[in-house]
Amino acid sequence: MTRMSVPWRPGGKQVHRGPAALVAGIAKALYATFAPLVRAFPGPLLIGAIVAVIVGVWINYLVFEFVDDSLVASSTNLAGETGLLGGPLALGEVRAGLTTSGVPGSGILCYVLYPLQYGVVRDVVSMGGILGFISVIPLYTIWWERKVAGRIQSRTGPMRVGGWHGWSQSMADGIKLICKEDLCPASADRPLFKLAPYLAFVPAILAFFALPFGTYWVFRQVDVALVFILAMLGIEVIGVILAGWASNNKWSVYGAMREACQMVSYEIPMGMALLIPIMVVGSLSLTTVGDTQSEGWTSWIVFRSPFTFAAAVAYFVAALANCKRAPFDLPESESELVAGFHTEYSGFRWSLFFFGEYAAMFVVSGLCVILFLGAWYSPLPMSLADRWGLGDSVGARAIKGLLFAGPLWFVAKCVFLLYVQIWIRWTLPRIRIDQVLYACIQVLLPLMMVLLLGHTLYELFVPVHGFVWTVFNLVLSLIGAVFVLGMIFIATYGFWNRVGLVGSLGVETLPGS
């Protein structure tokens, strides 16, 4: 490939003097060292980064648990010096507390743990974690969606950008979008036009602040977390309607109106579906709901009764509609409304809508996982850990975190649900608006009422762990297991046979080749 020669880029060296020379020298040396490495081993580096993130998350998990467990223990040992986290423990006291818990390396660890006893520090750390997570999740969901779509469509998807399977594709998209011209149509309502993307994006982030990733893994332990998250997801629609209105474009108005209809109607069955697990547990706190499902996959709420099973499916459908995913992507349906409510948006503002959408996808999947699919617990029952004699030592905690419970399980389940959403999107055609509303008001809403009533009666009259209850529980659990295993099998089969699926007739068999 011949490179174009561009006249205004001088071919000669740039001359730096003084401190600039030093900085330039360091930068060049670093670039010379790392650039070949990145080019040579993109795949291992990516996998290494993922492993590092997992290990980091896991270590972090340990740290948090230690701060909570050890410090609570030590502070009570120290005759109730002060409260749990506000209390200024001296460095020595932390070390003493750690030593009594038998932690190796407590001499160094105490310096790490000491600041963590302050609420502000903990908030800052977890805020950073959440913001990082929120920016990574949409980026990689988008890349992943493009790869999955490619695989479904017998092509490859992004391959070039970043080297290994286009893993940095979304980052490139992000850089490009940020650097795009910030357009605001002349006839648009300027302030509202600029406000709308934030109104769509910020609530999706706020929802993360009450979403628990594990028993200790929540930014703010809100007692009515479920209501809070639903409210935040509900605010998103205001941003979309504002966007449609302020753009001064008829397609945008169509998109916004569709979004309004769809959101307002689907929030009702969605909320009703979520009432059922709440009824089972008796708490609106998501951490409490999650912690009741620790005894293996048969204890997950989705398999508790036929009604919860149906409610989980209905919730997933309503959630698809709620975050505008196909086949309910009417607000932005490309073949009808050009791009729907974001027709006039470009660059960074448009990417905010996208981030908001993918963040909302993760939140609704997270709600589904917490309320129905066993939250952060693995299919293995927690009691197995006790039977294996795992204590509270570091190693035992590590095994517990990886095998039985932990944010990794939560994220893995969410990612599976995201995968299902992507799968549906690239398979099904789109529904018409009257059919969307029909499906909600005539089908889902009565269904949810029946389920709600049915489940109430079921809880009232069917004794827990009685014969009927157990049979239903086991049958539903088996159905669920077969379903998930089947999907995994299909995906794996498709992956291994990805060459064969393209078809037998290739270019090389043609005459004259």
Partner 1 sequence: MGTTVLQSGSDVLTDVEGSEQGDLRTEEMLVNMGPQHPATHGVLRVVLRTDGEMVLESVPHIGYLHRCAEKIGENLQPFQYIPYTDRMDYLAGMNNNQAFSIAIEKLVGIEVPLRAQFIRVIFAELNRIASHLVAFGTYGLDMGAFTPFLYAFREREMILDLFESTCGARLTYSYITIGGVHDDLPDRFLEVLDEFLDYFEPKIDEYNQLLSFNHIFVKRTANVGVISADDAVRWALTGPVLRASGVNWDLRKSTPYEIYDRFDFDIPIGLPGGREGVPRSVVVGDSWNRHIVKVWEMRQSCRIIRQAMAQITDGPHIAAKVKNVKLPDDEVYVEIENPRGQLGFYVRGDGSSIPARVKVRGPSFCNISVLNHVGKGCLLADIPAIVGSIDIVMGECDR
Partner 2 sequence: MSWIDNRFEEGLIVTSLDWAINWGRTSSIWPMTFGLACCAIEMMAVGASRFDIDRFGAGAFRATPRQSDLMIVAGTVTYKMASRLKRLYNQMPDPKYVIAMGACTVGGGPYFKHGYHVVKGVDLVVPVDFYVPGCPPRPEALLEGLMRLQDKILHQTRAKDPMSRVRAEVLAK
Site for partner 2, rule CB under 8 A = 1, 3-4, 6-10, 14, 16, 20, 23-24, 27, 146, 150, 153-162, 166, 168-169, 171-176, 179-183, 334, 338-339, 342-347, 350, 502
Structure tokens at 32: 């010379």
- By beta-carbon proximity to partner 1, the closer residue of 427 and 470 is 427
Q: Which does 511 bind (CB under 5 to 8 A by kind): partner 1, partner 2, none?
A: partner 1
Window of 50-58, 195-203, 221-229, 334-342 that interacts with partner 1 by CB under 8 A: 334-342
Residue 284's region, left for phi above 0, alpha for psi from -120 to 50, else beta, is alpha
Site string for partner 1, 382-421 (x = CB under 8 A): ----------------------------------------
Structure tokens at 58: 């896991």
- Out of 123, 182, 334, 386, name the contact with partner 1 by CB under 8 A: 334
**How far, in whole angstroms, is CA 302 from its chain's centroid?**
20
In contact, 260 and 321? CB cutoff 8 Å: no
Q: Which does 429 bind (CB under 5 to 8 A by kind): partner 2, partner 1, none?
A: partner 1
- Out of 1, 434, 496, 500, name the contact with partner 1 by CB under 8 A: 434
Tell me if residue 85 falls in helix, strand or coil.
coil
Least distance between partner 1 and beta carbon 427 (Å): 6
Window of 42-50, 105-113, 244-252, 474-482 that interacts with partner 1 by CB under 8 A: 244-252
Least distance between partner 1 and beta carbon 337 (Å): 8
Q: Which does 427 bind (CB under 5 to 8 A by kind): partner 1, partner 2, none?
A: partner 1
Between CA 138 and CA 65 the distance in angstroms is 28
What's the Rg (C-alpha) of the chain?
26
Least distance between partner 2 and beta carbon 508 (Å): 14
By CB under 8 A, tell whether 351 contacts partner 1: no
In contact, 171 and 139? CB cutoff 8 Å: yes
What does 127-174 look like in DSSP terms, one character per residue? HHHHHHHHHHHHHHHHHHHHHHHHHHTTS----STTSSTTTTHHHHHH
Between CA 274 and CA 245 the distance in angstroms is 32
Size of the site for partner 1 (CB under 8 A): 43
By CB under 8 A, tell whether 500 contacts partner 1: no
Q: Find the farthest-apart pair of alpha carbons in the chain and give their distance in angstroms, rounded.
A: 90
Neighbours of 443 (CB within 10 A): 13
- By beta-carbon proximity to partner 1, the closer residue of 15 and 434 is 434
Q: Which does 347 bind (CB under 5 to 8 A by kind): partner 1, partner 2, none?
A: partner 2
Write a three-state SS string for 326-365: CCCCHHHCHHHHCCHHHCCCCHHHHHHHHHHHHHHHHHHH
Between CA 350 and CA 348 the distance in angstroms is 5
Q: Which does 166 bind (CB under 5 to 8 A by kind): partner 1, partner 2, none?
A: partner 2
Q: Which does 33 bind (CB under 5 to 8 A by kind): partner 2, partner 1, none?
A: none
Between CA 318 and CA 266 the distance in angstroms is 6
Sequence-distant (≥ 6) Cβ neighbours of residue 448 within 8 angstroms:
268, 269, 272, 273, 311, 314
Q: Using CA of residue 238, residue 239, residue 242, residue 244, what is the dihedral sign?
A: negative
Looking at residue 442, the DSSP 8-state letter turns out to be I
Between CA 335 and CA 462 the distance in angstroms is 50
Between CA 234 and CA 141 the distance in angstroms is 22
Least distance between partner 2 and beta carbon 136 (Å): 17
By CB under 8 A, tell whether 510 contacts partner 1: yes
Q: Which does 426 bind (CB under 5 to 8 A by kind): partner 1, partner 2, none?
A: partner 1
Between CA 477 and CA 373 the distance in angstroms is 11
Contacts of partner 1 in 247-276 (CB under 8 A):
248-251, 254
Least distance between partner 1 and beta carbon 261 (Å): 10
Between CA 171 and CA 143 the distance in angstroms is 9
Between CA 288 and CA 110 the distance in angstroms is 31
Q: Which does 181 bind (CB under 5 to 8 A by kind): partner 2, partner 1, none?
A: partner 2
Structure tokens at 182: 């910030």
Structure tokens at 90: 């001296």
Q: Which does 70 bind (CB under 5 to 8 A by kind): partner 1, partner 2, none?
A: none
Least distance between partner 2 and beta carbon 4 (Å): 5
- By beta-carbon proximity to partner 2, the closer residue of 135 and 456 is 135
Tell me if residue 382 falls in helix, strand or coil.
coil
Q: Which does 413 bind (CB under 5 to 8 A by kind): partner 1, partner 2, none?
A: none
- Out of 2, 335, 460, 499, name the contact with partner 1 by CB under 8 A: 335
- By beta-carbon proximity to partner 2, the closer residue of 6 and 460 is 6
Window of 124-132, 202-210, 307-315, 426-434 that interacts with partner 1 by CB under 8 A: 426-434
- By beta-carbon proximity to partner 2, the closer residue of 79 and 179 is 179
Least distance between partner 1 and beta carbon 421 (Å): 15
- By beta-carbon proximity to partner 1, the closer residue of 105 and 503 is 503
Binding site for partner 1 (CB under 8 A): 149, 152-155, 185, 187, 248-251, 254, 326-327, 329-330, 333-336, 338, 343-344, 426-435, 502-505, 507, 509-513
